[in-house]
Amino acid sequence: MKKPEHNNSKTDKPLTGWILGLLVPPLSFVIIWLLVPTERNFAGFIEYAIKANVLSKFLSLAVLPNLLVFFIFIWTKMDRAAKGVLYVTFVVALAVVAVKFLL
């Protein structure tokens, strides 16, 4: 018997990928804030990152976990959800490039 080409579950939708793709980077950014040795609050951390010219680097790191989400969807044959994550990742990457050149 042949394996199905993709998963037909109710969660295999681009919207699922969009939601996870939008939730994972902010959560990752908060984890970066917690891991970077500083005694600043969150707003102070963002201000520090802008002044130190590292905000775009932190934002780029925050998007990387989307790669794991994408591959989990691929491995579980949830291709439509993987497309949603990929789409959101490209949009966020464009936003990071804009932040890099505007700040």
* The pLDDT of residue 8 is above 90: no
Distance CA 69, CA 31 (A): 17
Global pTM value: 0.82
Res. 82: pLDDT tops 70: yes
The more confidently predicted of residues 36 and 63 is 63
Mean pLDDT of 73-98: 94
Local confidence band at 39 (pLDDT 50, 70, 90 cut-offs): confident
> Distance between CA 79 and CA 3 in Å, rounded?
14
Instruction: Tell me: pLDDT of 2 over 80.
Output: no
